[in-house]
Structure 1
Amino acid sequence: MDNVSEMPSGASSSRIYETLRKDLVRGRFVAGEKLAINALKAHYDVGLSPLREALNKLAAYGLLVQENQRGFSVPRLSREELEDIAHLRLELEGMAFERAVERGDDRWEASLLAAAHRLKRADKTVDKGDVWEQLHTQFHRTLVAPCGSVWLIRFIEQLHDQFDRYRRLGPNPPLIRQALDDQHHELVELALKRDAQAARALMDDHIQKSFEVALAHYQQHT
């Protein structure tokens, strides 16, 4: 449980939930690890009630496993799960992006260009750490924002968190990372051209490439 994010004293359930969610996605806890409640209380400087509420929410979200009378543990990793997550991303995220391209307005175009600019600037100025990850997440959220379904966006964000548990097991090879970064720019170009079919095809390829990276990381850890 090393290098876990710090929490301010008196943290609320929502704040501890968000901090723990990020730590779980980042891989700050080992897959399969049982979480010690007292250790979490001490490290995050949080009371038992808000901590348990956050842990219950994370279990319902799928980032923790709740065991009857035995507390909480970090979900194990498996190739079958990763393949399932990637398949669902292809289906849901591809559909959402296709809808977004068809329905997005001028404000969406402006937001997309801004998100892409921030991400591209970060590609050149920062390591692929937390700052880049936040901008990357915001970029992908913006891509699908006008799809017209709140639930679809919720499912996609949940899949991203699960997928990132695998993707962030290790650094991406430079050539693959560059190819994925280039595709971000190409996705924006196709969105602005309103070419929904080509946009979805490129999104599918982007997710597939990301899956191959995540699978390689998983195999290195098994």
Structure 2
Amino acid sequence: MGSISTLTQTAVTLTDQAYAALRMDILNGKLKPGFKLRVEHLKGLYGTGASPIREALSRLTGDGLVHAEGRRGFRVGRVSRSELFDITKMRTLLECHALKESIDKGDDAWEAGIMAAFYRLSKLDSRLLLASPGEEWEVRHKEFHTSLVSACDSRWLQAHRQNLFDQSERYRRIALSMKNSDRPVPEEHKAIMTATLARDSETACTLIGEHFNRTAEAVSRTALIED
């Protein structure tokens, strides 16, 4: 029994590792939209077996990041302007719902978490002047947006919100080669934080929607996104 359990745990671990590595490389643009995902190539690239790779690709298909082509295998999901704006619309709806619930339920620890996340992000905001702000900024940016809705206790809402966040970040990262230094993103984040801490749900949701839509508009103007 012990050996079977160990083998099962090892298989799950290898699949999780392959899934996490593939997901990260798709989200950060290392694996380009439409790229053919050949199992043999991926085995060498990630140093694991065929079974964990296939399981990971199946999971990523469920996430909408990979497209299954029947017997022809898998490709990285393509990107389009119509999908970008659809993602943005749904993301805004879920984000506002989670934000309103967090504003209603959030306590002092929630407020402190938002302020701490904003402080960590603001220390790195100078990197926005560059074509690529860097992985550390990406982590801090995600932490800030997550902190805003962290008092929402709906597991399903949080899961769907997180998936849409990752989908939209994929688009934004694909378009990072296009500079947008004139946009006052740090000020947008500060305004969202201020309205949230003031428990002003209406203003906070308006600002978060505008924030998401500005990003979508900027990304949609790049030649890398299909019609």
Q: By the TM > 0.5 criterion, same fold?
A: yes
What secondary structure sits across from 1:158 in the alignment?
helix
Quote how far apart the aligned CAs of 1:220 are.
4.8
Q: Does 1:173 align with 2:175?
A: no
| Distance (whole Å) between structure 1 residues aligned to residue 81 and residue 225 of structure 2 | 11
Q: Does 1:191 align with 2:196?
A: yes
Matches within 5 A, 1:125-204: 128-171=133-176, 172-176=179-183, 179-204=184-209
Matches within 5 A, 1:3-18: 12-18=14-20
Structure 2 unaligned regions, length at least 5: 1-10
Q: Does 1:119 align with 2:121?
A: yes
Between 1:37-46 and 1:180-189, the stretch displaced more is 180-189
Given that residues 14 and 54 in structure 1 are in contact (C-alpha distance below 8 angstroms), is that contact kept between their aligned partners in structure 2? yes
Given that residues 25 and 162 in structure 1 are in contact (C-alpha distance below 8 angstroms), is that contact kept between their aligned partners in structure 2? yes
Match of 1:211 among 202, 207, 216: 216
| Distance (whole Å) between structure 2 residues aligned to residue 49 and residue 25 of structure 1 | 22
| Distance (whole Å) between structure 1 residues aligned to residue 168 and residue 127 of structure 2 | 25
What secondary structure sits across from 1:145 in the alignment?
coil
Percent identity at matched positions? 36
What secondary structure sits across from 2:74 in the alignment?
strand
| Cα shift readout 1:138-178 (whole Å, capped 9, x = no counterpart) | 111111111231111111111112112221123341011xx
Q: Could you list the runs of 4 or more consecutive aligned residues of structure 1 that deviate by over 6 angstroms after TM superposition?
A: none
Task: State the TM-score, normalizing by the size of structure 1.
Answer: 0.88
Given that residues 180 and 209 in structure 1 are in contact (C-alpha distance below 8 angstroms), is that contact kept between their aligned partners in structure 2? no
Given that residues 92 and 209 in structure 2 are in contact (C-alpha distance below 8 angstroms), is that contact kept between their aligned partners in structure 1? yes
Given that residues 167 and 214 in structure 1 are in contact (C-alpha distance below 8 angstroms), is that contact kept between their aligned partners in structure 2? yes
Given that residues 119 and 136 in structure 1 are in contact (C-alpha distance below 8 angstroms), is that contact kept between their aligned partners in structure 2? yes
Given that residues 127 and 133 in structure 2 are in contact (C-alpha distance below 8 angstroms), is that contact kept between their aligned partners in structure 1? no
C-alpha RMSD of the superposition: 1.8
Matches within 5 A, 1:36-185: 36-124=38-126, 128-171=133-176, 172-176=179-183, 179-185=184-190
Between the two proteins, the alignment pairs up a number of residues equal to 210
Given that residues 172 and 219 in structure 2 are in contact (C-alpha distance below 8 angstroms), is that contact kept between their aligned partners in structure 1? yes
Larger Rg: 2
What secondary structure sits across from 2:151 in the alignment?
helix
Quote how far apart the aligned CAs of 1:16 are.
1.7
